[in-house]
Amino acid sequence: MTAPRHLTEAERHGVADGSLAPELEPTVAEHLGACTACASDVARIRTLMTRIRETPAAADSGGDLWPSIRARIEQEKVAPLHAPMSGESGRPPRFLWTVAGVAAAVVIATGMLVRRGTSSTTFDKPAPADVTMHAVAESTHVYEEEARFLLNQLELRRALMRPQTASSIDHDLRVIDDAIAELKRAIERDPNNIALRALLASSYKQKVDLLKRVGNAG
Amino acid sequence: MKRLLVAAAIGAVSSSATAQKQASRDSRDIVLEARRVSPTTPLRIYGIAGSIRLVGWDRDSLVIMSQSRPRDFFFAHDPGGGGVKTGIDQYRFGVDSEHTAEDSRPFHFVVYLPKQSQVTVHSISAAIDASDVSGNFSTASGSILLRGLTGTLEVASVSGNIDVNASASWVRAQTGGGGRLLVRGAVQDVDASTVDGELDVATPTVMRGRFSSVNGDIRYASTPAAGSIFDFSNHSGAVDMALPREASAALDLSSVTGTVENGIAQARPAAGGAHSMHLTLGRGDAQMTVRTFKGTVRLRPTQP
């Protein structure tokens, strides 16, 4: 019943980066031998991946970031983190999702703290709260790193996108980056304003969410 | 020959035949596939340009219909989850068209599937209209409309409009560009955001709500439930809160450089000024926090 078809997007990427399930390899190899369209697309993806890997990027390897992130989490944690399992290193996406989860929890907690703070004081001059400030700055930092990582992935996918989709994403990134830049300037003038930092964290969250959307829409 | 094969498939699955008959009663669509499936079978749909309508029904069968059979249409059964071994059978179908999808022909699919199914739709530009179906829906430029009784919904569009008018325990909805987002129906836990587009919330059932935008206006017009918690944030767009007189909520409204306006006469702020306000309506049963950078925050009574 299944009509003859080209390789799926996942299969083409699987072949290109070597992550294809072993049981699929014979079928896929056979198809690639007979289908020049898929074979050339796989070659193109490999070229793109090579180009990306050769591009210097701070978030190239999530493993380099982990020690400093972990150190900061350790400073604030209530319960000790388990030691990293062997084999977990070298998997930046998985650990970044975990870190993103931690960041989300921090943002929610921050929202509650900010709400409490504004209930007894004015918004313009929030009560000093070093812990809250630290938590907000932390979540911003984590989102910033994740956004950088996802931006690299976006460049990998860009060649496969429709021009109007790429244009729309670029527009949204500019809008969010403008907001982030404006908030950063405001924070330079008023570094102790928790609300500004919470808005900055929220803007970074939007940037991360946008970049994740790109993955689905690609 | 294809019609014979389709007819054979339908004949082999008696329940599907009945289902197909009902599905096609008022339609001139042809049946592309009809299968008996378990009630919770996941279905993945890829690469559709045009439109796709998903209808959850009380039958253990899957029927895919369209007005014509796309040349690159595919339908596959992945026993045990396919490449990613989940141990759960799943089906997937779609149109494996040009990779860039620049010249993808639009097709219009209607899919009937069990209500408990989990659906994943990744479309190019298709308008998605789903009733009584849960899952993950994403499109690059199409609009998304979700209705009926569902479980959880994850909805994303790069630039299209989204309308969630469903009963759902958990909803995450995001759109970009100038796409608008409307949240209504009976949703409980919601995380919704836009970039430039307007975000409207019109449902009293939300218990946990997080709504954000960058430049788009956010409008809330409903009665917050007792015990509910809301968080609204915006950069330069306005946040407009329209609450009925009988609303019971504690509100923290603030804007860094914008203004905060209170249009509810009987509500006296406990603290605040031009840029912030804290006030309580009724017994303050719901907690609502609004933050903007330079967008105006407005509180006003619901229009009679």
Q: Looking at residue A117, what is its pLDDT? A: 39
Both A118 and A24 in one domain: the answer is no
Phi and psi torsions of A143, nearest 5°: -60, -40
Q: Can you tell me the distance from the alpha carbon of A82 to that of A156, in angstroms, rounded to the nearest whole number?
A: 33
Cβ distance of B96 and A8 shorter than 8 Å: yes
Q: Can you tell me the distance from the alpha carbon of B199 to that of B207, in angstroms, rounded to the nearest whole number?
A: 18
Both A44 and A97 in one domain: the answer is no
Asked whether residue A13 is domain-assigned, the answer is: yes
B120 touches chain A (CB under 8 A): no
Where is mean pLDDT largest: A115-124, A149-158, B102-111?
Answer: A149-158
Both A14 and A116 in one domain: the answer is no
Q: Which two tokens stand for residue B42?
A: 């996941």
Both A42 and A117 in one domain: the answer is no
Better pLDDT: A198 or B199: B199
Both A106 and A201 in one domain: the answer is yes
Both A127 and A174 in one domain: the answer is yes
> Is the pLDDT assigned to residue A89 strictly greater than 50?
no
* Residues spanned by the domain of A17: 9-54
> Is the pLDDT assigned to residue B102 strictly greater than 60?
no
A39 touches chain B (CB under 8 A): no
Asked whether residue A141 is domain-assigned, the answer is: yes
Nearest to B212 among A182, A206, A213 (CB): A206
Closest-CA distance, B304 to chain A, in angstroms, reads 30
Both A208 and A116 in one domain: the answer is yes
A35 touches chain B (CB under 8 A): no
In tens, the pLDDT along B122-135 reads 887 889 999 999 99
Domains of chain A: total: 2
CB atoms closer than 10 angstroms to residue A130: 8
A198 touches chain B (CB under 8 A): yes
Asked whether residue A21 is domain-assigned, the answer is: yes
Cβ distance of B74 and A123 shorter than 8 Å: no
CB proximity under 8 Å: A 69-108 to B: none
> β-strand B297-301 against B239-243: which pairing, if any?
parallel
Which residue of chain A has the CA closest to B251? A119
| CA distances to A46, B167, B241 from B59, in Å | 45, 20, 43
B195 touches chain A (CB under 8 A): yes
Asked whether residue A115 is domain-assigned, the answer is: yes
In tens, the pLDDT along A40-76 reads 777 777 766 665 444 443 334 444 455 556 566 555 5
Asked whether residue A85 is domain-assigned, the answer is: yes
- Which positions in chain B touch A183 (Cβ < 8 Å)? 235, 293
Q: What is the ipTM of this complex?
A: 0.80
> Is the pLDDT assigned to residue B75 strictly greater than 80?
yes
Both A192 and A115 in one domain: the answer is yes
Q: What is the dihedral of CA A69, A71, A75, A80, to 10 degrees?
A: 100
| CA distances to A48, A72, A159, B169 from A76, in Å | 40, 7, 41, 32
Closest-CA distance, B25 to chain A, in angstroms, reads 24
Least confident span in A132-136, B41-45, B224-228: A132-136
B78 pLDDT band, cuts 50/70/90, is confident
Cβ distance of B75 and A195 shorter than 8 Å: no
Both A27 and A97 in one domain: the answer is no
Nearest to B254 among A14, A195, A202 (CB): A195
A209 touches chain B (CB under 8 A): yes
Asked whether residue A3 is domain-assigned, the answer is: no
Both A132 and A193 in one domain: the answer is yes
- Which positions in chain A touch B291 (Cβ < 8 Å)? 114, 195, 198-199, 202
Per residue in A60-87, is it b (16+ CB within 10 Å) or e — as a string? bebeebbeebeeeeeeeeeeeeeeeeee
Closest-CA distance, A86 to chain B, in angstroms, reads 22
Pairs across A and B, CB distance < 8 A: 150
Both A184 and A127 in one domain: the answer is yes
- Which positions in chain B touch A121 (Cβ < 8 Å)? 271
Average pLDDT over residues B31-41: 89
Asked whether residue A30 is domain-assigned, the answer is: yes
Asked whether residue A26 is domain-assigned, the answer is: yes
Average pLDDT over residues B255-262: 93
